[in-house]
């Protein structure tokens, strides 16, 4: 398959790295400034798909090409955990997540001026018990503050907390690479 150029509507360095796992895609980054409305109930999957589409279409209004937008959230008991705003907020998130299983849902949109495809991927992550030293050191490092749910699955200092990942681990980091690659192959065939 030949190379296909896309525009990634994200400022996330993790997404920029993950999209490189699709060897036949060449992505340039154009961060979206689309407004992100807070979750107000309903389907979390619908919410992240709406945000992903909004991000992709915002960029598509400004550039020509095929755009990928994505949005990832952590959800537990119907509550969406965004990026923590303070150390106390991060600690509260860990207290909710530890000893339980939660969902990580990424909505993604592939769009150009002819069509758009929107979908989502869900992964389940189980944390073990809250371990003070690990959690407080992680919070003190500043790592939680740019991540949905206040954590990054790829962060090795958290490995002792993670008991199980059911589904696509890339999805938890911020982009469901396998699902996105499948969507792209279908998208290209539709053109």
User: Which has the closest alpha carbon to 50: 6, 109, 122?
Assistant: 109
How many Cβ atoms from other residues are within 10 Å of residue 169's Cβ? 16
Q: CA 121, CA 48: separation in Å to the nearest integer?
A: 10
What is the C-alpha separation between 7 and 27, in angstroms, rounded? Answer: 5
From the candidates 46, 64, 71, 77, give the one annotated as an active-site residue: 71
Tally of CB atoms within 10 A around 178: 13
Catalytic-residue membership of 170: no
Q: How far apart are CA 105 and CA 120, in angstroms?
A: 7
Q: Tell me which residues are annotated as active site.
A: 71
């Amino acid at each position: 398959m030949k190379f296909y150029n896309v525009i990634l509507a994200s400022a996330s360095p993790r997404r920029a790295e993950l999209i490189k796992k699709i060897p036949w895609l060449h992505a340039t980054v154009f961060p979206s400034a689309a407004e992100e409305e807070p979750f107000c109930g309903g389907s979390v999957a619908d919410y992240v798909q709406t945000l992903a589409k909004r991000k992709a279409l915002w960029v598509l209004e400004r550039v020509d090409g095929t755009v990928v937008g994505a949005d990832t959230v952590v959800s537990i008991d119907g509550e969406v955990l965004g990026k923590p705003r303070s150390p106390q907020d991060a600690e509260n998130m860990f207290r909710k997540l530890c000893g339980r299983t939660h969902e990580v849902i990424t909505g993604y949109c592939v769009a150009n001026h002819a069509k758009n495809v929107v979908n989502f991927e869900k992964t389940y992550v189980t944390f073990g018990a809250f371990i003070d030293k690990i959690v407080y050191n992680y919070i003190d490092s500043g790592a939680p503050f740019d991540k949905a749910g206040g954590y990054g699955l790829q962060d090795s200092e958290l490995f002792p907390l993670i008991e199980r990942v059911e589904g696509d681990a890339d999805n938890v980091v911020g982009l469901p690479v396998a699902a996105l690659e499948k969507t792209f192959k279908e998208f290209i065939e539709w053109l």
